[in-house]
Amino acid sequence: MRRSLKGDGGAWVNLYVDRFLDYMAAERGVAANTLSAYRNDLGQLTEFLEQQSPRSSNVWRTADPQTITAYIIHLHDRGYSGTTRARKVASARSLFGFLVEEDVISEDPMENVKSPRTGRSLPKALAIEEIESLMDAAEGDTYEASRDRAMLELLYATGMRVSELTSLDLADIDLPQGFVRCFGKSAKERLVPIHPQAADVLRDYLEQGRPRLKSKTSGEALFLNQRGARLTRQGLWLILKRVALRAGITVKITPHMLRHSFATHLLRGGAPLRHVQELLGHASITTTQVYTHLTSEHVRTEYQNSHPRA
């Protein structure tokens, strides 16, 4: 039996879902099995929105991008596969588009929210103990060792991409202020803080290591190879592989694992997802969400503490 519409927010929610399903059947000719999947997906969305805004008379009007982001994380926490999550998000996107067309809501909260990627696996995050072993193994009394330790410390301290690190120039480092400037995808500039330990190691390289590696072809490049030219991505990967072997790390290690470890360890430590997004240089927070598979409890806590209706 359908609940009374008057004064019952949940019934209004069901009304709009029913109207959407009627539209999909009559106007779009959607098959019965697809309608059943829509009903299941949107029922789950409805339940989540009602839990987030229990006092709202119409949760569709109070849903915002933050709420949708929390819903996507919720789906991940429930253990759904990437394909299933993508389908459920697509169902929600279709419904919100319908609600905009029907003037039920004025803005689509999913307009700038990307669907979960399917079939994508991220490299394993190193344990903190493995990071420490890696840094210790990079130590040495040679100029190359000074460079290697500085590169690895900077990668883990900032979460920079390998291409961003190898393209750094001297002017991009501000040790007194504790910042590094890097240029990400589409040449988007961002400033990333450097913690004191990484700054000290980098200062040592600038004072002791780089002057001895420098040649006439060095230009303003920050990290140099043995010939004094700018270090390449391939050169950095070989250095990391060699250091990891000395550290006794048996898993296949890549430079991106340091970026992944940076994000994972920050989130485990309670850093807000939005802050990690900025540090990584992600245009969309949905991209950053792939780093939360081990840290969803921290993300949920931050969301509940910050969202006005949580």
Tokens of 206: 């600038």
| Spatial distance between the Cα atoms of 154 and 156, rounded to a whole number of angstroms | 5
Nearest residue to 168 (alpha-carbon basis) of 216, 200, 210, 136: 210
Q: What residues are labeled active site?
A: 161, 185, 256, 259, 282, 291
- Cα distances (Å, whole numbers) of residue 131 to 35, 44, 57, 257: 49, 40, 50, 10
Residue 114's alpha-carbon distances to 69, 160, 294, in angstroms, are 10, 22, 21
CA 161 to chain CA centroid, Å, is 13
What is each CA distance from 190 to 74, 150, 153, 222, in whole angstroms? 30, 20, 19, 17
Q: How far apart are the first and last CA of the chain?
A: 30
- Helix H or strand E encompassing 183: strand 179-183
Give CA–CA dist 200/47, Å, rounded: 51
β partners of residue 182: 190
